[in-house]
Structure 1
Amino acid sequence: MATKALFNTVVNWFIRQRIDQIQNFMDHPIETQKGILFSQLFHAEDTEYGKAYGFNSISSYQDFKNKVPVVTYEDFEPFIERARQGHKDVSWPGYIKHFAKSSGTTNAKSKFIPISTESLEYCHMKAGKDMVSIYANNHPENQLFTNKNLRLGGSSELHADFNTKFGDLSAILIDNLPFWVEITTTPSKKVSLMSEWESKLKAITSEVKNEDVGSILGVPSWMMVLLQRVLKETGSGNISELWPNLEVFFHGGISFKPYKDQYRQIIGKKINYYEIYNASEGFFGIQDRSDSDEMLLMLDYGIFYEFIPMDQFHFSNPKVVNLEDVEAGKNYAMVITTNGGLWRYLIGDTVIFTSTNPFRIKITGRTKHYINAFGEELMITNVESALSKACEVTGASITDFTGAPVFMKENESGAHEWIFEFSHHPDDLDRFTDAFDHHLKMINSDYEAKRYNNLTLKRPIVHIAKPHLFYHWLESKGKLGGQNKVPRLSNDREYIDPLLELNKA
C-alpha cells in the first residue's frame, strides 16, 4: 500500500509538471514553433541536407520557405536510403539506427521513415506519457495506474538491413520501452513482438482474458476484432463483465465514427474515448477534452508545422503558411519538419482547424484519398457525416466501406459506387442510399451541383459486402493487423474493383 501511494505521488507530480508545460505552448504557440524551427536548423546545419540548402544562412521563416523545398517521400527517398545504408549526418546529425516501415495503406511500395533518438524520445515516447497525463488530469478519479493497459500494435518484428533496423513503428517503440511500462502493459513483450497476425491474435487473447484491464490502445477496426475474439473465447456477454475496471479507449489510425455504436454495445457500459493522431513520421495531436473530439495540436515534440490550403494544393506553386496564418474552418494539407530529419515533408494528411486559440484540429482525410472525378471534391469527413445520418434513420451500423467513381460513358452520367460491410443491416437499402445521397448534398454543395437532375452524377450505386470481406481482402494481401486498412475513398477503381470481384466469389 505504501509503495502504491508513493508511486501515485510521483506520477501526480509528473502530471502537474507536464500539464503546466502544455499550457505554456498553448499560451505561446508561435514562439514555441519558432524555437522548434531554429533549433532544428542549428542542429542539422552540418548535415548533407543542411549544407545543400544553406541552413546556416537561414535567419527567418521566409528564408526557410525560400531555400528549402516542400518534398514528397519520393523526392526525399535518396536521402533516406543513404541514411538507411548506414551513412552518417545525412539529414539529421549522427547515425539513424531505426526506420519505421510504413504500412498504413494497401500500397505495395513501402516507405522507410527515419526514427532518430530525438524523435523516439522527445516525440513518440513523450506523446505516450502526455496521452496518459492529459487523461489523468481530466479524470482525477482514474485508476489507470492500478490496472493494465492493453496495447494492440501491428506486425512487431524488427529486421536488420545494412547497419540499421526496420519494422513497424510499434515494433521500434516496444523494443525501446522502459521496463516499468512492461509491468503495467499487456500483452507481454514476447507476444507483442509476434509477426503472424492469426497466431498473435490467439496468443494475445490467451494472455489478456485473465488480466484486469483498465485501458485499451489501438486502431478501432483491429481492436474490435480482438475484443470479439476475447468475448468468444471467454463466453462473456460484454467486455465490462470481463474487465469491470475498463475506463478508457485511446484510439487512432482511422475515424472512430463508424465504430462508436459497436463499441457501446460490445463494452456494455459507458467509458471514455480519447482520440490520438500519430503516424510513423511523428505524433501530432491528442484529444485534450473529454466532451469534444477535437485534438490539441502538440507543439513541443520537435515538429515544425506548415500547411497548404487544399484549394491550392494542386497548383504548381501553392501557398504554404505556418501556424500564424492558418484559418479555422479551412482544409489544409500538412507539411512537417521533424527531429527525425524530415524537412518540409508532405505527410499526405489533411486537417481542418476547429480553433486557433489554442490550435485544435480534426483529421479530414488524405491528399490522395478523396473522390473528385467530376469536380465534387468529396472528402472523408463529408462521407462519414452523411453515413452517420443514413445509419441513424435506417438502424444500420457499418464495419467498413470504400467508394470510387464510375466514370462517364458516351451519353451516360457518372456515379459514385460504394461497398459497405454492415454489422447491422439497414431496414431498407434504398432508404439508406437515398438518405446517404440526400445528406451528402446538404453537406457538400459541389456534390449537390453535380447531382442536379442526374446530369453529371447519378444516384449512388450501393453494394452490401459479405461478412468479413475487407478482412479477407487484407489477408490476401498479407496486410492483417496494426494500422493496415483499405482507403475509404479513391479517385480511381484500384480498391473497389477487386473487392467487388471477391464479393461475388
Structure 2
Amino acid sequence: MPSFKAVLSKPFAKYVAKRIKKWSSRPVETQQKVFENLISEAKHTAFGKDHNFAGITSYKEFQNNVPIRDYEDLKPYVERVVAGEEDILWKGKPIYFAKTSGTTSGAKYIPITKESMPTHVEAARNAILMYIHETGNAKFVDGKMIFLQGSPILEEKNGIKLGRLSGIVAHYVPKYLQKNRLPSLETNCIDDWETKVEAIVDETINEDMSIISGIPSWVQMYFEKLIEKSGKNVGDLFKNFNLFIFGGVNYEPYRAKFENLIGRKVASIELYPASEGFFAFQDKQNEKGMLLQLNSGIFYEFVEAEHFFEENPTRLTIADVKLSVNYVMIISSTAGLWAYNIGDTVEFTSLKPYRVIVSGRIKHFISAFGEHVIGKEVEQALKEATEDTSISVNEFTVAPQISPEEGLPYHEWLIEFENEPENEPQLIEALEQSLQQQNSYYLDLIKGKVLRPLKITKIKKDGFQTYMKSIGKLGGQNKIPRLANDRKIADSMHQLKLIK
C-alpha cells in the first residue's frame, strides 16, 4: 500500500505542473515581469544608484547602463557586502554566502538572499514533482534518499553564514523528507571525502535506497565502494532504487558505466544548479534539455560564444535566441548579480518551451590553433565512438600538445578506461570522424596539416581521483574539466606518474 505521502504527492505534482505550464507558455512576458521587478527592487541599492536604475525603463537602457561583468569585475561591490554593508547589490544583507573556489580569483563569495534562497529549494522539489506528474511513479517517496553533498557546517562572516551551496541547501530539506534522508548529519559533516564516502557506505548498505543524487563522478566512487563491500551490484543491493538525480556534468559519458554498476537501467533527472542560481531542470523524460527557470527571480541574457570576447558583443534576451547556437549565459537576479557572466555556455534544444543543455565553460575550450573545440563536442565524440562497443570510460580530459618532441601538434586525450579498446587506432579514427563532423575549424586544421590526429594517453585506475586529491579538490562539487586550452592538468598527470 502506498503511503499517505505518496498518494498526496500526485495531486500536488499536478498543481505544480499547472503553475509551471502557466509561466513557461508565456516566456517573454514572464521574463519582462522579472526584469521590471529586479530593477524596481534594487534602485535604492549602491549598485542601482551607480547604474541609474531609477532611470531605466527598458531593456535597451539596462544594456547601456550595465556592462557584462564576471566575479572579478563585481568584486569591489561583493567586498563591501562581505564587510557587512547593507543595500549594496540587493536590498538589506544576504542571508548566506555560497563560497566557491575560483580558479583565477581565489575564494568567491556569491550572495544568497532572502528572495533568492527559496528558488534553489523550489526548483529541486519541482524537478521531482514533474517526474511524478509525468510518470505517475511516486513509490520512491517512501524509500530512503541520499544526496551526496558538501558539509552542512557553516562559518560566519560579519553576521552572514557561509559555506558550500550544497551544504546550505542541506538545511532546507523539507520536514516530510527528513526521516527518509541519508546520510546522518554526523556523516554529512565529515570533511575528508574518502572518509565520508566510507561512512556513507556503512550507513546505507543495508537500507532501502530509492533515490540517489549527486555529481556522477562522485556517485560512481560511492557505487564502487558499495560493490566492493557487498559483492553485489547496486541494483541488487537496492532493489527499489529507481531514480538517479544528477547535476554539474553531462551524464552521457558515465551512463554505460552506471548501468553496468547498477545492473539495470534507472530513470534519471538532470538538474542545473549553481551557487549563482538554480537555472533549469529536466521536466520531461523523453525530451532533450532542461526547462529554463524563467520565473525564479533570474533575468537571462545570451551572447554568442563565438563573439563573446569581441568589444561590445550583441546581448540577446530569450525572445531572440536560436536553436543549437552556443551561447554564454548572463544573469541578473534577486541575489544581486547584475549582467553577470556565470562562465557557462548553453545551447537551446527547444524554444517552446525554452529548454537548454550545458555545452561547456567559456574558459574551458581548446583553441590553441583557432579550432574552438568545446566540451559538448568532445563528450559527443566519445559517446559516438564508444557506442555499441565494449569500451567503458571512467573519466577523461583533453589538452593541446603544442610543441611535441616530434611531428605536428595534436590534441592529447587523457582517458581512464574501465574497459580498454581492443583496437585503439579504430577508436581514434571514430573520435576524429565525430570531431571533424562537428567542428569545421578542427577539420580544416587537420586537412591543412596544421594539426595531426589526436593521441590517447591511458590513465591508471583512480588516476583522476589521485590528481583531484593532490590539488585538494576530491569530492563535493568539484569536477574535472572536459578540456582546457593549457596543459596544467595534463602536465600534472604526467608529473604525478598517473600515466599507464
Shorter chain as denominator, the TM-score bin is over 0.9
State the match for 1:356 in structure 2: 351
Answering whether residue 104 of structure 2 is matched by residue 135 of structure 1, we say no
What is the CA–CA distance in structure 1 between the aligned matches of 2:138 and 2:12, rounded to whole Å? 16
Note the alpha carbon deviations across 1:133-164, whole angstroms, 9 max, x for none.
11111111331221121110134432223322
- Mean Cα deviation higher: 429-438 or 281-290: 429-438
State the match for 1:179 in structure 2: 175
State the match for 1:485 in structure 2: 479
Structure 1: segments with no counterpart, 5+ residues: none
CA pair 351-504 structure 1, distance change in 2 beyond 3 A: closer
Aligned residue for 1:447, secondary structure, equals helix
Note the alpha carbon deviations across 1:391-422, whole angstroms, 9 max, x for none.
23653111111111122589953211121111
What is the CA–CA distance in structure 2 between the aligned matches of 1:249 and 1:409, rounded to whole Å? 42
CA pair 107-427 structure 1, distance change in 2 beyond 3 A: farther
Answering whether residue 186 of structure 2 is matched by residue 218 of structure 1, we say no
Q: Which amino acid aligns with 2:345?
A: T
Q: Which amino acid aligns with 2:156?
A: A
State the match for 1:77 in structure 2: 75
Q: Which amino acid aligns with 1:261?
A: A
State the match for 1:447 in structure 2: 442
Aligned counterpart for 1:307 among listed residues 302, 308, 312? 302
Contact in 2 for aligned 1:394/1:432 (Cα 8 Å): no
Aligned counterpart for 1:36 among listed residues 23, 30, 34? 34
Aligned counterpart for 2:106 among listed residues 105, 109, 127? 109
State the match for 2:402 in structure 1: 407
State the match for 2:496 in structure 1: 502
CA positional deviation for 1:106:
6.1
Contact in 2 for aligned 1:337/1:343 (Cα 8 Å): yes
Q: Which amino acid aligns with 1:81?
A: E
Answering whether residue 473 of structure 2 is matched by residue 476 of structure 1, we say no
Contact in 2 for aligned 1:113/1:280 (Cα 8 Å): yes
TM-score (norm 2): 0.96
Aligned residue for 2:366, secondary structure, equals coil
Aligned residue for 1:117, secondary structure, equals coil
Contact in 2 for aligned 1:157/1:194 (Cα 8 Å): no
Note the alpha carbon deviations across 1:276-304, whole angstroms, 9 max, x for none.
11111111111111113311111111111
What is the CA–CA distance in structure 2 between the aligned matches of 1:265 and 1:420, rounded to whole Å? 19
What is the CA–CA distance in structure 2 between the aligned matches of 1:435 and 1:393, rounded to whole Å? 12
- Mean Cα deviation higher: 136-145 or 214-223: 136-145
Aligned residue for 1:118, secondary structure, equals coil
Contact in 2 for aligned 1:96/1:114 (Cα 8 Å): yes
What is the CA–CA distance in structure 2 between the aligned matches of 1:193 and 1:409, rounded to whole Å? 46
TM-score (norm 1): 0.95
Aligned residue for 2:414, secondary structure, equals strand
State the match for 1:322 in structure 2: 317
What is the CA–CA distance in structure 2 between the aligned matches of 1:244 and 1:85, rounded to whole Å? 51
Aligned counterpart for 1:434 among listed residues 420, 429, 432? 429
Contact in 2 for aligned 1:174/1:189 (Cα 8 Å): no
Note the alpha carbon deviations across 1:80-99, whole angstroms, 9 max, x for none.
12112221111111111311
Q: Which amino acid aligns with 1:20?
A: K
Answering whether residue 139 of structure 2 is matched by residue 161 of structure 1, we say no
Contact in 2 for aligned 1:415/1:459 (Cα 8 Å): yes
Note the alpha carbon deviations across 1:236-256, whole angstroms, 9 max, x for none.
2x1121111111111111111
CA pair 178-133 structure 1, distance change in 2 beyond 3 A: closer
What is the CA–CA distance in structure 2 between the aligned matches of 1:169 and 1:88, rounded to whole Å? 22
Aligned residue for 2:303, secondary structure, equals strand
Aligned counterpart for 1:201 among listed residues 197, 202, 215? 197
Contact in 1 for aligned 2:72/2:105 (Cα 8 Å): no
Aligned residue for 1:495, secondary structure, equals helix
Aligned residue for 1:311, secondary structure, equals helix
What is the CA–CA distance in structure 1 between the aligned matches of 2:105 and 2:91, rounded to whole Å? 31
Contact in 1 for aligned 2:43/2:49 (Cα 8 Å): yes
Contact in 2 for aligned 1:465/1:503 (Cα 8 Å): no
What is the CA–CA distance in structure 2 between the aligned matches of 1:385 and 1:53, rounded to whole Å? 42
State the match for 1:17 in structure 2: 15
- Mean Cα deviation higher: 366-375 or 262-271: 262-271
Aligned residue for 1:349, secondary structure, equals strand
Aligned residues: 499
Note the alpha carbon deviations across 1:349-403, whole angstroms, 9 max, x for none.
0011111111111111000001011111111111111112222365311111111
Aligned residue for 2:41, secondary structure, equals helix
Note the alpha carbon deviations across 1:465-488, whole angstroms, 9 max, x for none.
011111001111111112212211
Note the alpha carbon deviations across 1:84-136, whole angstroms, 9 max, x for none.
22211111111113111124x76672211111121111x10111211111111
State the match for 2:453 in structure 1: 459
CA pair 30-425 structure 1, distance change in 2 beyond 3 A: same
Answering whether residue 144 of structure 2 is matched by residue 148 of structure 1, we say yes
Identity level (%): 36
Q: Give runs of ≥4 in structure 1 deviating > 4 Å.
A: 105-108, 408-412
Structure 2: segments with no counterpart, 5+ residues: none
Aligned residue for 2:332, secondary structure, equals strand
What is the CA–CA distance in structure 1 between the aligned matches of 2:484 and 2:414, rounded to whole Å? 12
What are the within-5 Å matches in structure 2 for residues 41-56 of structure 1? 41-56=39-54
Contact in 1 for aligned 2:193/2:476 (Cα 8 Å): no
Aligned residue for 2:261, secondary structure, equals helix
What is the CA–CA distance in structure 1 between the aligned matches of 2:172 and 2:266, rounded to whole Å? 30
Contact in 2 for aligned 1:171/1:193 (Cα 8 Å): no
Q: Which amino acid aligns with 2:480?
A: V
CA pair 392-27 structure 1, distance change in 2 beyond 3 A: closer
Aligned residue for 2:467, secondary structure, equals helix
Q: Which amino acid aligns with 2:107?
A: S
- Mean Cα deviation higher: 169-178 or 464-473: 169-178
CA positional deviation for 1:343:
0.7
